[in-house]
Amino acid sequence: MYRMKSIPVAYFDGKVSTRREVVLTLDEGRVHIRGEGVDQTYPAPSLKIPPGVGSVRRTLRLPDGGVCELEDAELLAELELACGATRGVRLLQRWEKSLPLALGAVLLTVLVVLLFLRYGVPSLAKRAAFALPVASEQALGRESLATLDRILMKPSNLSKERRAQLTALFQRVAGPARDAAAYRLEFRSSPAIGANAFALPSGIVIITDDLVKLSTQDIELAAIMAHELGHVRGRHILRHVLQSSAAGLIVATLTGDLVSITSLAATLPTVLVDASFSRDFEREADDAAIAWMKSAGVSPRVYAEILGRLQAQLDVRRGETGGNSHPERNYLSSHPDTLERVRRVMRAGGA
């Protein structure tokens, strides 16, 4: 049953600052304002009720410029409904006034941001990395190699014959796939990074002299080559850099302006030497190594053995300095969770 409601409100005519006490009545979709020297009637939809701000008194704006100030929550709700406010708007206004609901909104926002960082950013980075033109990726690989040569690495001391043997092995690991023809193996000497191997964009894989010396058989190096090629084919290097560069990721994904990504070449060498790939990236690369060894009739145990030897070498170097970081870096310095990885590789080999 319809019930007319009237309440006293403060009225300003919009021409002078004089405050008048009047009675506001809502009756069948019309608003009546009556008081001393005031007698106005307006269709409810012609009125405007601005959103509330904290505990500030709510206002009702009239078509002729007048304003009414009122506090009655029940009448405000009826006026908002009569003025055409949607249920969603009214719910949002109540939400803003509720501390528990406001805190809930903050927590929800934080959750959405965390989920975006966990799932959204990697997804965008993958999309951008695989969309990178071949020419841009090649330029990024060349610039990164040049920077590493300038600040960290020296020419290899391995003989020409030894390098030729390992290059042939690398080509065998890369296989006959169409993209494999563009991959190449580079040899470098670098006491600063020790026994190490890593991949650059465009399929450049670098192996240090120390890693070659640490291996007991070439098939161990082949396993590491297969691991690094897993990083190459999964675009892990670019994806890792893009995930760390929100600006580059947004530009690359939303605008398609991938030329700007080449500006990352200056920082990429540091990322390659110091960064820890995610567990997902490491598992994908390890799976690539395991798959190649099985296809070549080689036990994955070979890969696990060199991983263990690398970890032992790293432990010794750390022990020499009392647990402090050593100026030389080991292959596993940028490949975390070695023990878990070794166990996983052993399980894949049936051990």
pLDDT in tens, 3-58: 578 889 999 998 888 899 999 998 888 899 999 889 999 998 888 888 766 566 78
102 part of a folded domain: no
Q: What is the pTM of this model?
A: 0.63
Averaged pLDDT, 164-178: 92
In a domain, 13, yes or no: yes
pLDDT score of 201: 86
Asked whether residue 105 is assigned to any structural domain, the reply reads no
Determine the pLDDT at residue 118: 73
Highest mean pLDDT among 55-69, 122-136, 223-237: 223-237
Q: What pLDDT sits at residue 96? A: 61
Mean pLDDT of 120-144: 81
Residue predicted with more confidence, 90 or 196: 196
Extract the tokens encoding 259: 């030329």
What is the sign of the dihedral through the CA atoms of 250, 267, 307 and 183? positive
87 shares its domain with 122:
no
CA distance 116 to 150: 37
pLDDT of 231-255, one tens digit each? 999 988 888 877 766 545 555 555 5
Distances (CA, A) of 141 to 232, 266, 267: 11, 11, 12
Label residue 321 by pLDDT band (50, 70, 90).
Answer: very low
Q: Verify that 251 and 303 share a domain, yes or no.
A: yes
pLDDT at 221: 96
> What long-range pairs does 21-24 form, CB within 8 A, spacing at least 24?
22/68, 24/60, 24/68, 24/70, 24/75
Query: Is residue 144 packed enough to be buried (19+ CB in 10 Å), middle (13-18) or exposed (0-12)?
Result: buried
Measured distance CA(317)–CA(333) in Å, rounded: 11
pLDDT (0 to 100) of residue 22: 92
End-to-end CA distance of the chain: 80
Asked which of 65, 97, 129 is the last residue of a domain, the reply is: 97
The verdict on 200 and 87 lying in the same domain is: no
Say which DSSP state 333 is in.
G
Residues 225 and 118 in one domain: yes
107, part of any domain: no
CB 155 within 8 A of CB 206: no
Tally of CB atoms within 10 A around 159: 9
User: Residue 323 has what pLDDT?
Assistant: 44
Does the structure show a pLDDT above 70 at 171? yes
Predicted confidence at residue 312, as pLDDT, reads 83
Q: Are 92 and 205 in contact (CB under 8 A)?
A: no
Q: Is residue 332 located within the same domain as residue 287? A: yes
| Residue ranges with strand state E in 183-316 | 184-189, 197-200, 204-208
Does residue 161 share a domain with residue 64?
Answer: no
Examine the fold and report which residue of 68, 97, 126 is the final residue of a domain before the chain moves on: 97
Q: What is the pLDDT of residue 55?
A: 61
Q: Is residue 103 part of a domain?
A: no
- C-alpha atoms less than 13 angstroms from C-alpha of 13 in its C-beta half-sphere: 11
Give yes or no: residues 81 and 120 share one domain. no
The model's confidence at residue 183, banded by pLDDT at 50, 70 and 90, is very high
177 with 273, same domain: the answer is: yes
- Strand order across the 20-27 sheet: 38-43, 30-35, 20-27, 5-12, 67-70, 58-61
- Total domains present in the chain: 2
Residue 91 shares a structural domain with residue 124? no
Task: Identify the weakest region by mean pLDDT among 222-231, 302-311, 314-323.
Answer: 314-323
Residues 200 and 343 reside in one and the same domain: yes
Whether 109 maps to a domain, the answer reads no
Residue 182 lies in a domain: yes
Domain's final residue, options 97, 128, 145:
97
User: Would you say residue 349 has pLDDT above 90?
Assistant: no
Task: Tell me the one-letter amino acid at 49.
Answer: I
32 part of a folded domain: yes
Q: Which domain holds residue 169?
A: 114-348
Residue 120 confidence (pLDDT): 76
Using one digit for the tens of pLDDT, what is the confidence trace for 329-339? 445 444 447 78
pLDDT tens-digit readout, 249-272: 555 555 555 445 445 555 565 555
Please indicate, yes or no, whether residues 70 and 151 belong to a single structural domain of this protein: no
The answer to whether the Cα torsion of 225, 230, 235, 241 is positive or negative is negative
Q: Domain check: are 124 and 80 in the same one?
A: no
Residue-wise pLDDT tens digits, 89-119: 555 656 666 667 778 878 888 888 778 767 7
Return d(Cα 333, Cα 313) in angstroms, integer: 11
CATH number at residue 69: 2.30.29.30
Q: What is the pLDDT of residue 310?
A: 86
The fraction of the chain above a pLDDT of 90, given in percent, is 30
